């Protein structure tokens, strides 16, 4: 286990350095960030001064070298636009995104797994067919459209829930959170549901497929013959063995939502990290983009690690090495 952890950590460092090199190279092909932050009629001397102030007068290689050596001292670089440390900008917005993503994943899981088990165990019932048809909507409807429709019905038409923002927040352990206030929840529901839909549909379909396969196995027949209760058969024998692909997808979706909840955040004016990424790309704010994508890579690697650990807990035949 320890060896495995160390191996994964080394992998993580490798992934992060590759990401940083790729992002740095990509940046050199995009626009010149100087022109995003200074007035357009600046003279050559003023442009040079700005370039010096931003550290862009150095070659790409030495910029990368400076970035790396600062990184080892815990300095992730400064945003050109905000002039604040890039990592602070991201961490400041991360609680809002995490909160929304976790609520969305919670909604998706709580609804998708029972429905998936039901549809997988009784594939021919009308209700199962209905669930599967509905899940197609969840996969194919674009998030921005769903978001706009929710706003139209629940905010504008019936004035039932607010359309945007995060509402009242309170500080818990130094983090600004809205899940502990009623106002916060009323702001949270629409974006979380919007974000949850696609994931819900995917988890549902994977669970169903897994259940259908498992239910044909001999041990299920055996359990049935033994006289185990239907509920026990479905959840203890069936779901447990169908869960491995579900967990894999869960992990991937979780990472995906944390890193790229951009559209939902933009529509609901949710003050999270996704909007920061988009804005930074528009503004050519390289330090923020680099740190953001590295953090994203880190989150994916970390989630995959946790997913692998979860495999071993569910299926003792799987060992990590």
Residue numbers of the site for other proteins (CB under 8 A)? 30-46, 49-50, 53, 81-84, 89, 92-93, 148, 151-152, 155-156, 159, 162-166, 169, 176, 266-269, 271-272, 275-276, 279, 281-284
Nearest approach, Cβ of residue 132 and other proteins (Å): 32
Nearest approach, Cβ of residue 87 and other proteins (Å): 14
State residue 61 phi and psi, 5-degree precision. -65, -45
Nearest approach, Cβ of residue 190 and other proteins (Å): 11
Euclidean distance between CA atoms 209 and 2, whole angstroms:
34
Nearest approach, Cβ of residue 43 and other proteins (Å): 5
State residue 160 phi and psi, 5-degree precision. -100, -40
63-99 residues labelled b (16+ CB within 10 A) or e (exposed): bbeebeeebeeeebbbbbbbeebbbebbeebbbbbbb
Nearest approach, Cβ of residue 12 and other proteins (Å): 29
3 or 39: CB nearest other proteins: 39
The structure tokens listed for 30 are: 């995009």
CB atoms within 10 A of CB 33: 22
**Is residue 67 within 8 Å of residue 24, measured between CB atoms?**
yes
238 or 265: CB nearest other proteins: 265
Euclidean distance between CA atoms 115 and 112, whole angstroms:
5
237 or 283: CB nearest other proteins: 283
Nearest approach, Cβ of residue 262 and other proteins (Å): 11
Render 276-310 in DSSP notation, one character per residue: HHHHHHHHT-HHHHHHHHHHHHHHHHHHHHHHHHH
58 or 319: CB nearest other proteins: 58
């Amino acid at each position: 286990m320890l060896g495995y952890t160390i191996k994964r950590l080394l992998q993580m460092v490798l992934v992060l350095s590759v990401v940083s090199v790729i992002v740095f190279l990509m940046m050199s092909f995009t626009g010149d960030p100087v022109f995003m932050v200074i007035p357009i009629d600046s003279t050559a001397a003023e442009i040079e001064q700005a370039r010096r102030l931003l550290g862009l007068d150095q070659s790409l290689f030495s910029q990368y070298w400076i970035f790396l050596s600062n990184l080892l001292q815990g300095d992730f670089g400064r945003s050109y636009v905000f002039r604040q440390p890039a990592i602070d900008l991201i961490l400041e917005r991360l609680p809002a995104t995490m909160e929304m993503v976790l609520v969305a994943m919670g909604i998706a899981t709580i609804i998708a797994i029972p429905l998936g088990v039901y549809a997988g165990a009784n594939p021919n019932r009308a209700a199962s067919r209905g669930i599967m048809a509905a899940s197609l909507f969840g996969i194919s409807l674009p998030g921005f459209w769903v978001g706009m429709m929710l706003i139209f019905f629940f905010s504008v038409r019936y004035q039932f829930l607010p359309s945007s923002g995060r509402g009242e927040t309170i500080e818990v352990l130094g983090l600004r959170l809205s899940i502990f206030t009623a106002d916060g929840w009323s702001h949270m529901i629409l974006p979380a549901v919007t974000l949850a839909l696609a994931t819900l549909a995917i988890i549902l379909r994977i669970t169903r497929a897994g259940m259908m396969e498992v239910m044909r196995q001999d041990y299920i027949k055996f359990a049935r013959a033994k006289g185990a209760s239907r509920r026990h058969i479905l959840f203890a024998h069936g779901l447990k063995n169908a869960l491995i692909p579900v967990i894999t997808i869960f992990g991937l979706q979780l990472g995906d939502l944390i890193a790229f909840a951009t559209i939902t955040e933009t529509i609901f004016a949710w003050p999270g990290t996704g909007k920061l990424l988009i804005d930074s790309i528009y503004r050519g704010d390289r330090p923020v983009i680099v740190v953001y994508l590295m953090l994203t890579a880190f989150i994916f690697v970390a989630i995959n690690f946790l997913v692998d650990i979860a495999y071993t807990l569910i299926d003792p035949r799987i060992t990590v090495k």
